[in-house]
Homo-oligomer: A and B are copies of this chain.
Amino acid sequence: MIHEGYSYELEMKVRDYECDIQGIVNNSCYQNYLEHARHEFLIANNVSFAELHNRGIDAVVARIEMAFKTPLRPGDLFIVKLKVLKEGPKYVFHQAIFRKSDMKLSLKAKVDTAVLINGKLAASLPEFDSLLVHNVN
């Protein structure tokens, strides 16, 4: 059961090498976590970047906003959740990371992606439209 309208979640674990001098996960690693969850989400929905790319279609990240709430630490298990909304031509991933032990919010992010077909901004892509969150209803 995935609450709050998220349509996908992935459990991961902090690796020690991702932590920095302050003893917490380095800020840039959250971006890795978010990207990995998006890619796993697409794979789980049979959307293949490689296959799209071969047809001249590329999804690119145009903008990222991240709010850092509670730092993750060595050994922490965490859950990355996501849902996709459409805003104009953009497919916007709303993502959140929760520390598993107490489900405390660690990070909230909004990732705007654009679809380029042969290098030109496309208004939409059927493969992505089927992933939009209203389909969960």
Residues of A near any B CB (own CB < 8 A)? 15-17, 19-21, 23, 26-29, 31-32, 35-36, 39, 43, 60-68, 74-75
Interface of A is mostly: mixed
Q: Give the Cβ gap from A117 to chain B, nearest Cβ, in Å.
A: 16
Chain B residues whose CB sits within 8 angstroms of the CB of A23 once the complex forms: 21
Whole-angstrom CA separation of A62 from B9 in the bound complex: 24
Chain B residues whose CB sits within 8 angstroms of the CB of A65 once the complex forms: 63-66
Whole-angstrom CA separation of A74 from B67 in the bound complex: 26
Chain B residues whose CB sits within 8 angstroms of the CB of A17 once the complex forms: 20, 26, 28, 32, 35-36
Q: Kindly identify which residue among B19, B28, B60, B75 contacts A32, using a CB–CB cutoff of 8 Å.
A: B28
Residue in chain B with minimal CB distance to A75: B43
Interface centre among A31, A36, A43, A67 (most CB of B within 10 A): A31
Whole-angstrom CA separation of A66 from B112 in the bound complex: 10
Chain B residues whose CB sits within 8 angstroms of the CB of A31 once the complex forms: 27-28, 31
Q: Kindly identify which residue among B28, B39, B62, B68 contacts A67, using a CB–CB cutoff of 8 Å.
A: B62
Q: Give the Cβ gap from A55 to chain B, nearest Cβ, in Å.
A: 16
